[in-house]
Amino acid sequence: MAQSNRSLGTTAGRERLQSEAPLPLPAEDVEARELAARALNLFRSPANFVLGVADVASLPQGSRVEIAFAGRSNVGKSSLLNALLGRRSLARVSNTPGRTRELNYFAVGGNLFVVDMPGYGYAKAPKSLVKGWTQLIHDYLRGRPQLKRVMLLIDSRHGLKSSDLEIMAMLDKAAVSYQAVLTKADKPKPGDLAQVIRETEEALRKHPAAHPKVLATSAAEGQGIEDLRIAIAELC
């Protein structure tokens, strides 16, 4: 042992050691690995429902980062939140009577709130409800510096709909960063999925507050959940 240590002190020993050492990873790979580890760590801790907010005066105090999830009703938001937060029925809380029109707050770790926004686009929703929802969302989006990004969920079978375009206009106007997240990516054929990703990215290019990358996810099969966690960890 002593002899081998001594031999490493010689030029030949050093050369041997260098040739056996693994090549250093490119900086982007090191960063990507660190981010993946941070994401894993962030979502390892259990998420908890904290409160439902019906008007902006009741928003929680403090400086926790907020990432909000929005989408048409039935887009798969509860399923995706459950997959993201690793809890089978956590986001069902948001679908209980009285909570569907609120901003529902879930605490993740010590520095993040995941905010479940009310689903929109109900064809038959009464006008008064739509008005109330629009006002709440409008007030929230315009006055919440803790809100770092809205994940805008789009059904991968249908692509962007007019009600999505309306909320995108609201987000652009409020200058809130948002990112399109396709749901139910296990449903379309791979070629159709690739096309809806391309079309969505193309449409988003015209929107100043939109993130250029579209994420494709499936709550049913787990596809894209890690990427979504990484995108969130990057903002925390």
Interacting residue ranges for ligand GDP, rule: CB under 6 A: 71, 73-79, 119, 183-184, 186-187, 218-220
**105 close to 151: Cβ distance less than 8 angstroms:** no
CB closer to ligand GDP out of 111 and 223: 223
Q: What is each CA distance from 66 to 1, 59, 197, in whole angstroms?
A: 55, 11, 26
Cβ proximity to ligand GDP: between 79 and 134 the closer is 79
Long-range contacts (CB closer than 8 Å, 24 or more residues apart) made by 107-111: 107/47, 107/48, 107/50, 107/64, 108/42, 108/43, 108/45, 108/47, 109/42, 109/45, 111/64, 111/65, 111/236
Q: How far is the CB of 69 from ligand GDP (least distance, A)?
A: 9
Shortest distance, position 146 Cβ to ligand GDP, whole Å: 24
Q: For residues 77 and 149, which CB has a smaller minimum distance to ligand GDP in the complex?
A: 77
Q: Return the number of the residue (185 or 209) whose C-beta is nearest ligand GDP.
A: 185
Least spacing, CB of residue 70 vs ligand GDP, in Å? 10
Q: How far is the CB of 218 from ligand GDP (least distance, A)?
A: 4
